[in-house]
């Protein structure tokens, strides 16, 4: 597990055209890594996330993505992601192909990927319009023992999964604490795993049964304090709920969005500078 700067980690591991899961369920969203992907100008990415939020709005609006696999794409508690909508509704800045699931389906898909299975199973009762819209992407099968109707969901196996976490120790083991969403499954499902962390410590503050990713599963770790802002890292800092509300105004118009990205994300050499510009840190 090499310890790299985030710039090196993204430059070395994320390539145009890949499928990239930046996971985090409201908590521990790898914002800094997404910004670095934008700075490095990656293109034609297939973005994967259960709950794409502001960082995905930004990557999509900046033209990094041509595909999105997701189950809920909004600004949590606020409303729309206007850049995501603009891409789907009007193809701006480019068309975005979507593969849409329910949360439970996507959880099953990640778990299948993490388990080395080509698909996972759910109960199935009736088709919704989502089932009809996506055509053959899901399949009905019958339980060979009971005959019960089941839905097979194809596994998700991202080329790269990127997570944010609280700590890395000297060996490179990573600790996640708090709401974990499908982070563990997304990590194990990936071919390449990148992690940004709040801090490097000698020994993880990891009690029995903590969520720890062993160093030998991880391709690179980058120490990026505040790397989840405006999302949060439990025990380190809170969610910047105010920023989520403000984003509603920033992202509504193309021009204001582009200007904001220019003046904040692109104008900052790295995440530390961005946090200073946003007056989040001193």
Partner 1 sequence: MTTAYNADEMMTVTAARQLRNGAVCFVGIGLPSAACNLARRTHAPDLVLIYESGTVGTRPQVLPLSIGDGELAATATCVVSLPEVFAHYLQRGRVDVGFLSAAQIDGYGNLNSTVIGDYARPTVRLPGSGGAPDIAACAREVLIIMKQSPRSFVARLDFMTSCGYLGGTGERRRAGFPGAGPRAVITDFGILRPDAVTEELQLVAIYPGATVDAARAATGWPLRVAPTLETLPAPDPADLAVLRELQAATQAAHARALRIDLPRPAQT
Give the interface with a copy of itself as residue ranges (CB under 8 A).
Answer: 112, 116-123, 139, 141, 143-146, 148, 150, 152, 154, 176-178, 180, 207-211, 234-235
Q: What are phi and psi of 144, to 5 degrees?
A: -70, -10
Number of H helices, E strands in the chain: 10, 12
Q: Does residue 130 belong to the site contacting partner 1 (CB under 8 A)?
A: yes
Q: Identify what 110 binds: partner 1, a copy of itself, none; CB under 5 to 8 Å per kind.
A: partner 1
Distances, alpha carbon 115 to alpha carbons 14, 108, 126, 134, in Å: 23, 10, 27, 24
Residue 160 as a binder of partner 1 (CB under 8 A): the answer is: no
- One of 18, 102, 258, 268 touching partner 1 (CB under 8 A): 102
Other beta carbons less than 10 A from residue 164's beta carbon: 31
Confirm or reject binding of residue 280 to partner 1 (CB under 8 A): yes
Q: Do 140 and 151 contact (CB within 8 A), yes or no?
A: yes
Work out which of 19, 58, 161, 173 binds partner 1, going by CB under 8 A.
173
What is the Cα 262 distance to its own chain's centre? 22
Q: Which residue has the tokens 């391709």?
A: 219
Nearer to partner 1, 42 or 177 (CB): 177
Q: Is 161 in the site for partner 1 (CB under 8 A)?
A: no
The residues, ordered by sequence, that sit 6+ positions from 87 with a Cβ below 8 Å of its Cβ are: 60, 61, 65, 93, 94, 95, 96
Contact partner, 97, from a copy of itself, partner 1, none, Cβ < 5-8 Å per class: none
Q: Which does 130 bind (CB under 5 to 8 A by kind): partner 1, a copy of itself, none?
A: partner 1
Rounded Cα gap, residues 130 and 268, in angstroms: 40
Q: Which residues contact 102 (CB under 8 A, 6 or more apart)?
A: 71, 130
Using the minimum distance from each CB to partner 1, give the nearer residue, 17 or 79: 79
Interface residues for partner 1 in 215-254 (CB under 8 A)? 215-217, 223, 225-226, 229-230, 232, 234, 236-245
Contact residue for partner 1 among 72, 254, 258, 273 (CB under 8 A): 72
Comparison of 167 and 222: residue with beta carbon closer to a copy of itself: 167
Residue 199 in tokens: 């801090």
**In the complex, minimum distance from the CB of residue 145 to partner 1, in angstroms, rounded to a whole number:** 16
Partner in contact with 13, chosen from a copy of itself, partner 1, none, beta carbon below 5 to 8 Å by kind: none
Stretch that binds partner 1, among 31-39, 75-83, 138-146, 259-267 (CB under 8 A): 75-83
Q: Please tell me the distance from the alpha carbon of residue 274 to that of residue 268, in angstroms, as a whole number.
A: 5
Q: By the 8 A CB rule, do 163 and 30 touch?
A: yes
């Amino acid at each position: 597990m090499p310890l790299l700067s985030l710039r090196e980690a993204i430059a070395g591991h994320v390539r145009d055209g890949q499928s990239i899961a930046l996971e985090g369920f409201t908590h521990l969203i790898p914002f800094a890594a997404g910004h670095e992907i934008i700075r490095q100008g990656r293109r034609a990415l297939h973005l994967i996330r259960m709950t794409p939020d502001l960082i995905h709005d930004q990557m999509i609006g900046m033209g990094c993505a041509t595909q999105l696999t997701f189950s809920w794409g909004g600004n949590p508690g606020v409303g729309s992601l206007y850049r995501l909508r603009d891409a789907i509704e009007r193809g701006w800045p480019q068309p975005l192909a979507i593969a849409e699931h329910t949360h439970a389906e996507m959880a099953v898909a990640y778990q299948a990927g993490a388990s080395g299975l080509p698909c996972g199973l759910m109960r199935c009762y009736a088709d919704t319009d989502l089932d009809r819209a996506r055509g053959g992407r899901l399949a009905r099968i019958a339980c060979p023992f009971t005959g019960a109707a089941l839905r097979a969901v194809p596994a998700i196996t991202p080329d790269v999964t990127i997570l944010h976490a609280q700590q890395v120790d000297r060996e490179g083991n990573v600790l996640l604490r708090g709401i974990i969403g499908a982070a563990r499954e997304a990590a194990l499902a990936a071919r390449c795993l990148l992690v940004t962390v709040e801090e490097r410590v000698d020994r993880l503050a990891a009690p029995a049964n903590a969520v720890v990713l062993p160093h030998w599963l991880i391709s690179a770790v980058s120490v990026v304090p505040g790397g989840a802002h405006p999302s949060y890292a439990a025990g380190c800092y809170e969610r910047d709920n105010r920023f989520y509300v403000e984003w509603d105004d920033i992202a509504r118009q193309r021009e204001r969005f582009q200007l904001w990205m220019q003046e904040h994300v692109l104008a900052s050499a790295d995440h530390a500078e961005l946090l200073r510009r946003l007056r989040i840190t001193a």
